[in-house]
Amino acid sequence: MKKIFSYPKSLKNVPTHYCPGCGHGIAHRLVAEIVDELGIREKVIAVAPVGCAVVAYDYWDFDCCEAAHGRAAAVATGIKRARPGNIVFTYQGDGDLAAIGTNETIHAANRGENISIVFINNAVYGMTGGQLAPTTLLGQKTATTPEGRKAGSEGFPLKISEMLARLPAVKYIERVSLHSPQEVIKAKKAIKQAFLNQVNNLGFSLVEVLSACPTYWDMPAKNALDWIRDVMSKEFPLGRIK
């Protein structure tokens, strides 16, 4: 009999700490499946963020490095330059990548570092308790915008992917979502492309993944998925950006 489906080798068979309905579990698994499918598990070095995915190395079964909050792209730069033969990727949330780490992100992209970035955008800070993120939507209530985000005081949702797409050294940027099985399949295809680009030495690739945070969006998991489809993806349109 032929085995057509199994638990990914690159994913440890342990329960995660993520909340019910959170997208991180799906995104972790997609990465693990892709690493297995590309046969690069023994070459991969992941850089984990500070945020809800801080202990991603407890779930992935390959080499991982911690980075301080926001510094993942700099750490990845160091690893990749020291070991160009390895496959190096960062996995970062919106606060990590697009607030405290904006500088590191932009400059790694602008240097065209041959790394892959999985950017989880859930429009809120999760680990610290649901505060305003750079990607929080206008009107969205958070712990630090109790009346909802106002453009006049907090500015607009930051479209870091569109910003990065303007840099000549950037090879590939796509925005995907995890709000339905079809979208998850598309997300996997995009993340795989980002890894393949690195395998083929094509340069900087980033996939932005719209992901649900039912806990800090204060809604049931099903509604959170619908909210991505109906509201969030209007502000952050899906598809290939570069």
Binding positions for other proteins, 201-240, rule CB under 8 A: none
- C-beta neighbour count of 216 within 10 angstroms: 24
Binding positions for other proteins, 10-49, rule CB under 8 A: 41-45, 47-48
CA distance 100 to 214: 24
The tokens describing 118, both together, are: 């999985």
The contacts found for 132-139 with CB under 8 angstroms, 24 or more apart, are: 133/93, 133/94, 133/95, 133/98, 133/99, 134/94, 134/95, 134/98, 134/99, 134/102, 134/158, 134/160, 135/94, 135/98, 135/160, 135/236, 137/231, 137/232, 137/235
Is 62 a binding residue for other proteins by CB under 8 A? The answer is yes
Out of 65, 138, 199, 221, the only residue in the binding site for other proteins (CB under 8 A) is: 65
For residues 11 and 44, the answer to whether their CB atoms sit within 8 Å is no
Out of 34, 76, 176, 178, the only residue in the binding site for other proteins (CB under 8 A) is: 76
Residue 161 host element (H or E): helix 160-165
> Of 67 and 117, which CB lies nearer to other proteins in the complex structure?
67
**Partner residues linked to 172 by β-bridges:** 205
Out of 7, 83, 151, 220, the only residue in the binding site for other proteins (CB under 8 A) is: 83
> Of 87 and 206, which CB lies nearer to other proteins in the complex structure?
87
Map tokens 């900087």 to a residue.
204
Is 127 a binding residue for other proteins by CB under 8 A? The answer is no
For residues 24 and 224, the answer to whether their CB atoms sit within 8 Å is no
Is 128 a binding residue for other proteins by CB under 8 A? The answer is no
For residues 23 and 209, the answer to whether their CB atoms sit within 8 Å is yes
**Partner residues linked to 145 by β-bridges:** 142
> Of 11 and 178, which CB lies nearer to other proteins in the complex structure?
11
**What's the min distance (Å) between Cβ of 150 and other proteins?**
30
Out of 7, 37, 81, 222, the only residue in the binding site for other proteins (CB under 8 A) is: 81
Out of 67, 120, 123, 225, the only residue in the binding site for other proteins (CB under 8 A) is: 67
For residues 59 and 12, the answer to whether their CB atoms sit within 8 Å is yes
**What's the min distance (Å) between Cβ of 89 and other proteins?**
12
> Of 63 and 162, which CB lies nearer to other proteins in the complex structure?
63
Out of 21, 24, 32, 57, the only residue in the binding site for other proteins (CB under 8 A) is: 57
**What's the min distance (Å) between Cβ of 70 and other proteins?**
8
- For other proteins, the binding residues (CB under 8 A) are 41-45, 47-48, 54-55, 57, 60-68, 71, 74-83, 86-87, 103-104, 106-107
